[in-house]
Amino acid sequence: MKDPIRDTPLRDPGQSLRESLDDLLLDVAYPWFMTAILAAVTAGMEWWRWWFVSPPVPKTLTFIAVVIVGIASWKWRSVKAEARLIKTGLKGERSTGQLLQSELLPVGYEVFHDCCFDGFNVDHVAIGPGGVFAIETKTRSKPLGDARVTYDGQRVLVNGMEPDRDPVVQARAGASRIRDVLTEYAGFETEVRGVVLFPGWYVESKGKAQTWVLNPKAFISWAQKEPQRLTPEQVRVLAFGLARYIRSTLDA
């Protein structure tokens, strides 16, 4: 397998502070917290033995330790695998988000990231002259050779295999939710197109279906070739409405 993202994404606003906070919690607070728990448990066991004049029970404690270490090792392996997937997904979302901003902002678009709803989120939303796009980013490691994504307007195949979760259904659901939010917070209805992007993959899309499945660079080209559907004033109103919704979720 190889990394589908060739160029490392640039840094995000406030990323240094976020990394400092993560380092503080993981490298300083967490080890000391666990050390304090271990010290308290050890002291408690010694007081128990002193109070009840209990002899050492190394076999019992060893058995308990073996069980705990086994569970911890299993959890560590599962967390490590999940962390690897999250890291790959994060890299894809950052690179896609930065591409959207650098290519679409200059041509009159507003771009939003990580719009959260109950139980799911929409990775990116682009609002501009060509309309409103609710974008799902699907970052997958690529096998060596001629690996590609194919889309016939209904079904997506990743290197010949159907994904566990249908990304087209997910993109349509995200587009529907964004449309509802814009209607409520911006005051007028507009069509929202669902888009699925596969960073770093060659995507073979047959025709322009209602839901697009592309790689990020192809999406930029398709979006810029769309006829004008929104005026600059409508773009401003819709972007302001979506920003209101996002801030309301942050303040909740």
* pLDDT reading at 22 higher than 80: no
The two tokens of residue 142 are: 């690529």
The two tokens of residue 185 are: 């917070």
Residue 125 binned pLDDT confidence (cut-offs 50, 70, 90): very high
Task: Return mean pLDDT, the chain.
Answer: 85
Amino acid letter at 136? E
Domain borders along the chain are: 87-251
Give pLDDT tens digits for 80-116.
787 788 888 888 888 999 999 999 999 999 999 988 8
Least confident interval from 5-14, 58-67, 97-106, 131-140: 5-14
For the entire predicted model, the pTM comes to 0.80
> Distance between CA atoms of 10 and 95, rounded to whole angstroms?
8
> Distance between CA atoms of 249 and 120, rounded to whole angstroms?
13
Give pLDDT tens digits for 188-228.
899 999 999 999 899 998 877 899 999 999 999 999 999 99
Residue 1 binned pLDDT confidence (cut-offs 50, 70, 90): low
Q: Is residue 134 within 8 Å of residue 171, measured between CB atoms?
A: yes
* pLDDT reading at 16 higher than 60: no
> Distance between CA atoms of 97 and 9, rounded to whole angstroms?
9
DSSP, residue by residue, 176-236: HHHHHHHHHHHSS---EEEEEE-TTSEEEE-S--SSEEE-HHHHHHHHHHSPP-S-HHHHH
